[in-house]
Amino acid sequence: GALSVVADPDAYAPSSVLPLIVDSPFPNNTTTINMDSSDEKVTLVSKEHEKFSVAVAVASMSKIVETTIADNDDDDDDDTTQEIPLPNVPGTVLAKVIEYCTHYQTEPMTEIKTPLKSSKIEDMVQAWYAEFVRVEQGMLFELVTAANFMDIKPLLDLTCLAVAVMIKGKSAEELRKIFNISEVVTPEEQAQIREENKWCIQPDQQQNQNQE
C-alpha cells in the first residue's frame, strides 16, 4: 500500500504516524521518579520496568492511562498506588512525555490549527513547547510513537508538527534517508498520499495541485 509519509512537505496531518521508528535499547532499572507533589498518584512503568510516580491529573492526559485508572477504580477498592505498564515506551522517552504533560497543567499548549500558516513552530505554539521538540531526530520519532501509543493528542500534534517542519523542503531522496525508506514512492502513491492529506494543504497549494 501507499506509504503514510506526507511527501508534500507543506502538507501536515496531526494524526499521521511515522512509518519507521528506531527502537533504541536503554539500561534496565526500577528507579521511581516523583514528578508532582499532589496526593493522588499513579505509577507508570516503562519498557525497561523503570517506575515513574506521577500525579493522576498529569498521567490522565493519556487516554489509555485515564481509561485504565477508571476501569481499576470500578474494580478495586484498596488504596495501593496503581501501576500501569507501558511496554512500548522506553524510560527516557516516558520521562519526556511526563515533562510535557506536567508543564501542560500550568500552561496548556495552544491548539495547532491546520492548514499551517507558518513554517516556524514558535509561531504556532508557546516558546516552551517549541523548545521541547528541539531534540535529536531519534528522540522526536520516539515521542511521536509514544504520543500515539499513549493517545495524547496535543503531544502527537506537536511532534508531528515538528516532523513536518523538519522535512519541509526536503527532496524525495532526503525523505527516504530520514525515514529509512528503501523503496521508491510511485507517482500513484504520491497522488494517494496527497488525496489522504488534502484537508491540511493550504488553499493556494491545493489550487496548484489541481492545475497539475
pLDDT one-digit tens code per residue, 164-211: 888 887 777 777 777 777 666 677 766 776 666 554 544 444 444 455
Is the pLDDT at 58 greater than 80? The verdict is yes
Task: Name, in order, each residue with C-beta under 8 angstroms of 82's C-beta and a sequence gap of 6 or more.
Answer: 42, 43, 68, 69, 72, 76
Contact 101, 152 (CB under 8 A): yes
Domains, the chain, ranges and CATH? 32-211 (3.30.710.10)
The residue with greater pLDDT, 63 or 184, is 63
Provide the mean pLDDT of the chain: 77
Which pTM value belongs to this model? 0.70
Distance CA(157)–CA(151), nearest Å, equals 11
Output the CA torsion sign for 116, 118, 122, 126: negative
Interatomic CA distance for residues 87 and 48, integer angstroms? 8
18 three-state secondary structure: coil
142: number of Cβ within 10 Å: 26
113 band by pLDDT with thresholds 50, 70 and 90: confident
